[in-house]
Structure 1
Amino acid sequence: MKTIKLLALLFVSAIILEGCNEKPAHPGEPTVGGPIAPPKTIIDVQEAEDMYHRYGKDIAPILEKNKSNFKATRSLSIDYKTLKDYIAFIDQEAGEADSIEITGLRIYFAKYDDSLNDGRATVFLNPIMEAGTRGDLRDDVSFAIKTEDGKSTAVPVGKLIKKPTTGSNRADLTMPIQNGVQSLASNKSPWTPPPPKNEDDYQ
């Protein structure tokens, strides 16, 4: 009887261990003690090259048209550690603001003032949160953290910025009050002109 119980115990243990070694149900999820599967967002190197080349052929000339000595910005680099630090920071801030869930990172196309970096194009990042009731049709919005009376709340950026007057084409919207507001928008990344021809990079 003891032998049967021991064999049964070993059999159950083997099933449990095998279950722990199963591959993840969804791409990108790590296996227990194993490698991370490629996320669904990964594209083939050649597909990336085709997309980059298509931009250079179809879009860049439009941006450069009628502008002497102007070259469209083709790429921006973000330091890996800086990006990890940024993600850790927004996780911390969201966690302290009623544990709001960050649903994604939005990348905004932008432009420096003409007095900075030759007025070149750039991008900035901002975390987004759910804007409507869960299950409803919605468009998640970028947010910042507002602290009042020791309580932190995630607030849509649209409630914190000076909005342009009707008919205005102002693009340099700014926060009217910085006191008590922690911005989560990130820029200050190295900007680059069209990358020089480098046979080791996308062409």
Structure 2
Amino acid sequence: MIKIKKLLSPCITLIIILFSFSSCEEKDEKEPPTVLAPEQIVEVDQAKEMYDRYTDRRVPLIQHYEDSIDRAHYDSKILQHKKAKSKAIDSNSDKKFDVARYVSYDYKTIKQYLAYIEQEAKKANVEISSLRFYFSNYPDKSFFDNKDSVLHPRQNSLLLSPTLKKGDREYLFYIGGTKTEEQAILLTDNFGEINNQEIGATDRMEDKAHASILPNLTNTTTNPALNTSFYSGTSLTMNKGTGAPPPWNEN
């Protein structure tokens, strides 16, 4: 019995050692690699300085311009009413324009958007080279079909749109073609049509039909020069974020 115990003891020890190594290797395999911070990360104090500079150098200009429009509209109403007193007009005349300070998206929406544009680019056999954030501005009216309440008339916003690289430069693009053969249709830097297809075509899209970048916008645009036949297809440009003025209740 003592001999059996002596024989089993080294075996049990060896099994424990092997199991420990196996557990460590399995744990190492499951641990994700460390993600390094991008070079574009800025320090918090730098972010604060840039935010404050915008507050000092841009917000007052926007505020003054938009308030002047409201004031002109108010004065016009006064003339139309021939100095008639109107409580509604008086209350609107003192209302100041809220200057947007940021645009936000739900984190899941951002992840969904990135997955979506990668999916559509893969269908067209192209690779996304960058993601552009365009400054934009809403007109003084309801701009989208759903009348989204978070989209404030005249406030600044952002357009997110991917680019691909062709030759020595990058282009905005959207997806055109057919369901069986989709292509990436290139655009100018201001979302305009590229007439020269030798410049604007990818390897799979010569002499193909055009598609749209912003199908939701074409039904409401007032630009008579816009080629509506060109703007019809699958857009990769995202907007409709939650824009917000500064939090007035913060100290």
TM over 0.5: yes
Contact 1:109 1:124 survives alignment (8 Å): yes
Bigger drift between 33-42 and 189-198 goes to 189-198
| Aligned position for 1:143 | 173
Contact 2:175 2:182 survives alignment (8 Å): yes
Larger Rg: 2
Distance in 2 separating the partners of 1:57 and 1:197: 19
Contact 1:74 1:195 survives alignment (8 Å): no
Query: What's the CA shift for 1:186?
Result: 0.3
Contact 2:212 2:235 survives alignment (8 Å): no
81, 100, 105: which one aligns with 1:78? 105
Query: What's the CA shift for 1:63?
Result: 1.4
115, 132, 152: which one aligns with 1:88? 115
Say which SS state the counterpart of residue 118 (structure 1) adopts: coil
| Aligned position for 2:246 | 194
Contact 2:123 2:182 survives alignment (8 Å): yes
State yes or no: 1:128 paired with 2:158: no
Say which SS state the counterpart of residue 155 (structure 1) adopts: strand
| Aligned position for 1:115 | 141
| Aligned position for 2:128 | 102
Contact 1:104 1:128 survives alignment (8 Å): yes
Aligned-residue identity in percent: 31
Structure with the higher fraction of residues in helix conformation:
2
| Aligned position for 2:85 | none
Distance in 1 separating the partners of 2:140 and 2:246: 18
Residue type of the alignment partner of 2:37: P
Alignment of 1:20-39 (within 5 A): 33-39=32-38
Say which SS state the counterpart of residue 156 (structure 1) adopts: strand
Bigger drift between 112-121 and 56-65 goes to 112-121
Contact 1:161 1:174 survives alignment (8 Å): no
Q: How many residues align?
A: 156
Residue type of the alignment partner of 1:154: A
Distance in 1 separating the partners of 2:225 and 2:247: 27
Q: Which runs of 5+ in 2 are unaligned?
A: 1-27, 68-95, 143-151, 194-210, 214-222
Contact 1:161 1:173 survives alignment (8 Å): no
Distance in 1 separating the partners of 2:224 and 2:171: 18
Distance in 2 separating the partners of 1:123 and 1:53: 20
